[in-house]
Structure 1
Amino acid sequence: MNTSESPLARRARSGKPVGVGIVGLGAHGSWAERSHLPALRAVPGYELRALSTSSRESAERSGQVHGVSRAFGTAAELAACDEVDLVVVAVKVPYHRELVETALSAGKGVLCEWPLGNGLAEAEDMARQARARAVPTAVGLQARSHPALAHARHLVADGYVGEVLSTTVVASGGAWGATTAPRGHYVLDAANGATLLTIPFAHTLDALASVLGEPEELRIRQASRRTSAVDTESGRPVPMTAADQVVASGRLPGGAVATVHYRGGSSRGTNFHWEINGTEGDLVLTAPIGQPQLSPLTLEGGRGTSTGLAPLTVPDSCVLVPHLDPRADAPAYAVAHAYRRFLDDLREGAAPAVPDFAHGAARHRGIESALATP
């Protein structure tokens, strides 16, 4: 899709700030507040100009808290604002398609959080609409933009591990465990499209593919070992229809074996451990929580005659947003790097480094086609 002549691309190439409007930037504790807001403020070339929430009153409160003068009660008003070049959709999954359609109809570029749609059909529909309008899009699969992942990708390509023999991921999803906070009920309901499969597993699968190539012959199985979680405030059980175990296996280009196991909740042992094993060496990425897209990542490696692992420093060339700290600013860190890469994509007009809607629909399609039937 050629989007190089879109208004958003022309704006980016002009050197003037890209005006951003965020749908879902609440006043207290929203994902957009913890990630998109600090990310945008850390990347030169963007300017947050507008926000919208579920009502004009809440939008005005949020605008006052975050210092955003244009506060709208609807996404349609935000998308119609002449000062907005890029609409960011950062709300719950069931509302993605409607809000994305609103932004696309206004001719605006769109960055939509992941999952792109509530199921494959919605994702494919949004990708078709974006293609028809030839506007730039991005989907929130930001893990691949994390500097530690970028460095791992370069190391593999440069032969650090030799020929890749296998890769293994063992991780915990955080949610989908024995307990849930009131605001976590949403992800327990499979109908909402925000599950262990579609969020942490999919983010990690996309990260793995960015480093090692797309898995082939992928097979995914799900299991529900828990069917409820206890609300931490009321003490009452909450039904859990989303699976709390996801196991995948496949082959990488070249024949290496790949396995990924995601467990609901948190482990007293390992919450994120990813090994890449080759004929000449090994790489290991770890994190305190099982969601690499929002967690600080530690990269270690060993090769040749070395019998152990040593920390590997991420080079400055991979760090595109130096004003953020990878640990203190972890929720915003990979997001900021995705914004920076998206801006580069717009300016250079090359093949996108940041996943667009077509990529997002393909990721949905790959996961759905790999699901094993009961």
Structure 2
Amino acid sequence: MTSPGFSSVSPLSRLSPSSPVRVGLVGLSARGGWASRSHLPALSRLKGYELRALSASSEASARAAGEKYGVPLAFGSTGELVRSDEVDLVVVSVRVPLHREAVLAALDAGKAVLCEWPLGNGLAEAEELAAAADRAGVRTFVGLQARSAPPVRYVRELVAEGRVGEVLSTSLVASGRGWGPTFEPSGAYLLDERNGATMLTIPFGHTVDALTMALGEFTEVSATLATRRPVVREAGTGRAAPMTAADQVAMSGRLASGAVVSAHFRSGLSRGTNFHWEINGTDGDLVVTGESGHLQQAAVTVRGGRGTERGLTALPVPARHFAVPELDELRAVPSYEVAYNVGAQYARILGDLTEGTAHTPDFAHAVRRHRLLDAIGRAAATGTRVTV
């Protein structure tokens, strides 16, 4: 059965469930980074996967990463990795401006692809990659792992069960954590909006995707984007650098159900509220709170109240939403959500690849989400309401 909003699957695209899916990871560095903190812990624990290959920016850096992480095949280029007969699934975990080249190479080699979010540097690039995937006829996945977070899936379940009745509105205020007064040297590229890795595309994009999973798609949006700190400073050195990415994202809109949405993302971290998401309905309310607006990796709690109840009651996430036993040991690690949510998404991808299901967002879904962000940008630029 195909999940609503995701593409149907040809049986010819399935891999054998009797052998592990061999992964080639583009962007795993011996110096650390996102891939080593999320993809590596998840893949090393999940049955059904084997991390066979990696590629890096040079042969030397690839060799260093291969030796550090025990990966058998280390390539100095993406082209070599995607052409390897030892790779079934190519995982693209590099900076957004490098996604296009890596994804196109994998598609040209006829390989299934998991690309981190955002899929492309803007809507046009995302549409190009989705069209290329259609022509290649291979399975694609996009790393919108907030959908796999147990608290998010629980919120969707509560809404679907009628916990709040008919949803009237939802409001969200959050901190982007980055794009504040200082930046780490490794994050300098995030300051330039032309690189496509901004507060709007990354934390807001992940979070609004989770919101739509729980409550439905947008039909119209209005927005204000602003860069209130056009100059920021490098941590440690104090070096000044220009920032063109928006550090304030305020939007309102309407969902297909008629529910009204209000969302405001602020840069950095607040001394007050860093993540607060309310869902208000005819019969009750849900409140999700957490440590930052990066819902794809943040620790959050769920509370609710309904009927004649006064106040809010804690709603612990049921064990059934932690449905991947191999990942249970990660829950003892601080900030485990970073790797757990990625691992939970990998578990769904495994089913999609071996059983022909479509439970994981693909490139077509990524384009839908890019179109929403593009509509928000156009609404902010024109000061008008934009239909999604």
Which TM-score band applies after superposition, normalised by the shorter structure? over 0.9
The equivalent position to 2:361 in structure 1, one of 355, 358, 361, is 355
Conserved 8 A contact 1:2-1:134: no
* Alpha-carbon distance in 1 for matches of 2:284, 2:18: 44
Conserved 8 A contact 2:254-2:261: yes
SS in 1 for 2:331: coil
The AA in structure 2 aligned to 1:111 is L
Hey, what does 2:73 align to over in structure 1? 70
**Identity percentage of aligned residues:** 55
Larger deviation: 144-153 or 323-332?
Answer: 323-332
Q: Deviations over 1:91-142 (max 9, x none)?
A: 0011100000111111100000111001111100000010111111101111
Larger deviation: 246-255 or 322-331?
Answer: 322-331
Closer, same or farther in 2 for the Cα pair 1:256/1:3, shift >3 Å?
closer
2:105 is the alignment partner of 1:102: yes
Hey, what does 2:331 align to over in structure 1? 325
* Alpha-carbon distance in 2 for matches of 1:219, 1:17: 46
* Alpha-carbon distance in 2 for matches of 1:345, 1:233: 45
Hey, what does 2:15 align to over in structure 1? 10
Q: CA RMSD, aligned part only? A: 1.4
Matches within 5 A, 1:150-189: 150-189=153-192
The equivalent position to 2:351 in structure 1, one of 338, 344, 357, is 344
- Superposition TM-score, scaled by structure 1 size: 0.96
Q: Deviations over 1:144-176 (max 9, x none)?
A: 111111111011000001111110110010111
How far 1:184 moved relative to its partner? Answer: 1.7
How far 1:4 moved relative to its partner? Answer: 3.1
How far 1:203 moved relative to its partner? Answer: 0.7
The AA in structure 1 aligned to 2:127 is E
* Alpha-carbon distance in 1 for matches of 2:28, 2:362: 22
Hey, what does 1:148 align to over in structure 2? 151
Closer, same or farther in 2 for the Cα pair 1:141/1:51, shift >3 Å?
same
* Alpha-carbon distance in 1 for matches of 2:12, 2:270: 47
Unaligned runs of 5+ in 1: none
The AA in structure 2 aligned to 1:234 is T
Conserved 8 A contact 1:4-1:10: no
* Alpha-carbon distance in 1 for matches of 2:219, 2:340: 30
* Alpha-carbon distance in 2 for matches of 1:173, 1:199: 9
* Alpha-carbon distance in 1 for matches of 2:36, 2:101: 22
Hey, what does 2:385 align to over in structure 1? none
Hey, what does 2:375 align to over in structure 1? 369
How far 1:271 moved relative to its partner? Answer: 0.9
* Alpha-carbon distance in 1 for matches of 2:103, 2:153: 29
* Alpha-carbon distance in 1 for matches of 2:255, 2:237: 46
Q: Deviations over 1:284-334 (max 9, x none)?
A: 111112201011221111222221222212122211223231854221111
Hey, what does 1:334 align to over in structure 2? 341
* Alpha-carbon distance in 2 for matches of 1:4, 1:15: 19
Conserved 8 A contact 2:216-2:257: no
How far 1:6 moved relative to its partner? Answer: 4.2
Hey, what does 2:235 align to over in structure 1? 232
How far 1:2 moved relative to its partner? Answer: 5.0
The AA in structure 2 aligned to 1:310 is T
Matches within 5 A, 1:1-374: 2-6=8-12, 9-11=14-16, 14-322=17-325, 323=328, 324-325=330-331, 327-350=334-357, 352-371=358-377, 372=379, 373-374=381-382
- Superposition TM-score, scaled by structure 2 size: 0.92
